[in-house]
Amino acid sequence: MSAMDPGSILNQDIVNLALDLVEASIKRLFLVVEPAMVWGPRYLVVVVIHPALKELVVQKFGSTNSWKEKWGAIENCEKIAVWKAETAQREGKPTSELTLMCPWDHESGDYLYPGGVVSGKLAVGVSGINGFGDEIAANNVLKTIEGLCKRKRELLREAKVSQLI
128: left (phi over 0), alpha (psi -120 to 50) or beta: left
3-state secondary structure of 47: strand
Give me the pLDDT at residue 163, please.
83
The whole-model pTM stands at 0.92
d(CA 31, CA 63): 13
Assess contact for 145 and 52: CB atoms under 8 A: no
Helices 131-158 and 12-29 cross at an angle (nearest 10°) of 140
d(CA 99, CA 102): 6
At 39-89, the pLDDT tens digits run: 777 889 999 999 999 899 999 999 888 878 887 777 889 999 999 999 999
Q: Does the pLDDT at position 1 exceed 60?
A: no
Set out the domains of the chain in order of their start, with CATH numbers: 12-157 (3.30.450)
At 93-123, the pLDDT tens digits run: 999 999 999 999 999 988 888 999 999 999 9
At 17-45, the pLDDT tens digits run: 999 999 999 999 988 877 777 777 788 99
Give me the pLDDT at residue 36, please.
75
Give me the pLDDT at residue 110, please.
87
d(CA 16, CA 141): 10
